[in-house]
Structure 1
Amino acid sequence: MTRPGPIGVIATFDDPDAMVAALRAAREAGWRRLDAYAPFPVPEAAALLGVNGARVAWIALAAGLFGAVLAYGTQWWLSVQAYPINIGGRPLHALPAFLPATTIVGILWAAAGALLGMLALNRLPRLHHPVFAAPGFGRASEDRFFVCLFTGDPGLGAWEARHLLNRHQPLSVAELEA
């Protein structure tokens, strides 16, 4: 029985500029399935990977608006429809009385939506991924920078990935097995 080939090649760098240069070269060579791991945000790498936070912001906005409408609607239904009690001649639908709770609930829903949206978009929690087994990958949260080129792009395999990454003088290069 033959073993399947590697699913990708990962290179270790000690400098964010070297990581960005390798990402740029991979993009120019036609790689579309790639990722980078760093101990701190590297804006140039995020731009090359096409990552931004716009989708999380829209999710948070939608969740916040939904929560605010739900809170306001619940208060209105309870005060005007279900239990209309005339206290001191005040109107049943009192907008100023409804706004504090509406604002608080809207902010709560926006925060929960941003958290859940971020987790879903990042496919987290992820208990196992092949890059976790890469030599020295634990240092991705300390002082090392990693670029992973995944196989599967047409005409771009493990040999091409290894050759491209070796041109940027990485500390190490390893193949990832599934």
Structure 2
Amino acid sequence: MTDPNVYGCMAQFDSAETLRGAALQLRHAGYTRLEAYSPFAVEGLAEALGPTRSRLPLLVLLGGLVGGVGTLALQYYSAVIDYPIDVGGRPAASWPAFIPAALEMTILCAVLAGVVGMLLGNGLPRLYHPVFNVPRFAQASRDGFFLVIRADDPHYDSDHARQALIDLAPLSVDEVPA
């Protein structure tokens, strides 16, 4: 059982290469919930941190389906059930006329669902994060390279995580309060 007052254990490294190497070693040691912070994008770091599951494709699909089917249903209801008009002997349910609006709404709703899902998935807008409690984390935007083992990791044990980070020869190791 992890302490609810602890977010994880953080280590600071001196370069992007050592950060990437440390992330790889911790992944091979069995840690799966790792976070890395650096002042610039580090090539290969995302692969070193490991894959993450995303529900974004499903959310985009559902958004598109809701938009398209909803638009078709609205057009069908208005043209056939609520206010049918006979125009030149055409059928009331003229599906070819319904397709352009349904296509546009499918795309619009899929994109909106994707943007909202991306913002929520990234945890934005976030004005507070537990790593802000560590004083030296302010260097992350200038010249600091940080790696965090989160306390909700299945292999997390406070003492073992701290020792695993110390074994990687970081500049410093800190416990991150929640």
Task: Compute the TM-score of the two structures, normalised by the length of structure 2.
Answer: 0.78
1:98 aligns with 2:98: yes
Aligned-pair CA distance for 1:47: 5.8
1:68 aligns with 2:72: no
Amino acid at match of 1:93: A
Please say which of residues 77-86 and 8-17 is displaced more in the overlay.
8-17
Give the Cα separation in 1 of the matches to 2:166 and 2:138.
21
Aligned-pair CA distance for 1:168: 3.1
Q: Structure 1 residues 101, 146: CA separation in 2 closer, same or farther (over 3 Å shift)? A: same
Aligned partner of 1:10 in structure 2 is 10
Q: Structure 1 residues 113, 88: CA separation in 2 closer, same or farther (over 3 Å shift)? A: same
Contact kept in structure 2, 1:19 and 1:147, CA below 8 Å: yes
Amino acid at match of 1:45: A
Give the Cα separation in 1 of the matches to 2:141 and 2:101.
40
Amino acid at match of 1:77: Y
Amino acid at match of 1:79: A
Aligned-pair CA distance for 1:72: 0.9
Contact kept in structure 1, 2:10 and 2:175, CA below 8 Å: yes
Task: Compute the TM-score of the two structures, normalised by the length of structure 1.
Answer: 0.78
Aligned partner of 1:125 in structure 2 is 125
Aligned partner of 1:58 in structure 2 is 58
Aligned partner of 2:109 in structure 1 is 109
Secondary structure in 2 matching 1:91: coil
Structure 1, unmatched stretches of 5+, are none
1:20 aligns with 2:20: yes
Contact kept in structure 1, 2:72 and 2:98, CA below 8 Å: yes
Amino acid at match of 2:49: L
Give the Cα separation in 1 of the matches to 2:99 and 2:84.
18
Aligned partner of 2:32 in structure 1 is 32
Give the Cα separation in 2 of the matches to 1:141 and 1:107.
37
Q: Structure 1 residues 142, 96: CA separation in 2 closer, same or farther (over 3 Å shift)? A: farther
Aligned-pair CA distance for 1:117: 2.0
Deviations 1:117-162 (A, max 9, x none): 2233334333322112233434545554321013465774334333
Aligned-pair CA distance for 1:57: 1.3
Q: CA RMSD in A?
A: 2.9
Count how many residue pairs are aligned between Structure 1 and Structure 2. Answer: 175
Aligned-pair CA distance for 1:44: 4.3
Structure 2, unmatched stretches of 5+, are none
Please say which of residues 59-68 and 16-25 is displaced more in the overlay.
16-25
Give the Cα separation in 2 of the matches to 1:91 and 1:110.
30
